């Protein structure tokens, strides 16, 4: 019996803003600092939401978005911020697990 497979496209399964945010957070954690990997994840989310809508809301052209979010390059941070905003997401920061952070009052 032959096993049939089909290409997997995560964009087909990202339906809610919460799922999109969770996917992006997981990709950031797994990226090991690879900006192109994060850009590709944003591209997956943008395709799930609709590239035309994201282009309109970010003020970028569809062609520019496809290139920037292909995973082949690291787009500029201002493009990333525009796309994140257009996707209805926001960036946040937290202390990395296991990181040693000096108390600012102790350093001064």
Closest alpha carbon to 21 in 73, 72, 89: 89
- Per-domain boundaries in the chain: 10-107
**Cα separation of 97 and 59, whole Å?**
36
CB 68 within 8 A of CB 38: no
Tell me the pLDDT of the chain (108 aa) as tens digits. Answer: 899 998 999 999 999 999 999 999 999 999 998 999 999 999 999 999 999 999 999 999 999 999 999 999 889 999 999 999 999 999 888 888 887 867 666 655
The pLDDT score that the predictor gives to residue 108 is 57
């Amino acid at each position: 019996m032959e096993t049939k497979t089909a290409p997997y496209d995560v964009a087909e399964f990202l339906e809610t803003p919460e799922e999109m945010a969770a996917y992006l957070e997981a990709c950031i954690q797994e990226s090991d600092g690879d900006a192109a990997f994060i850009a590709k994840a944003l591209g997956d989310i943008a395709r799930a939401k609709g590239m035309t809508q994201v282009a309109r809301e970010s003020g970028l052209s569809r062609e520019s978005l496809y290139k920037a979010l292909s995973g082949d390059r690291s787009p500029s941070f201002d493009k990333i911020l525009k796309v994140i905003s257009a996707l209805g997401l926001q960036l946040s920061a937290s202390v990395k697990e296991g990181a040693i952070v000096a108390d600012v009052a102790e350093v001064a």
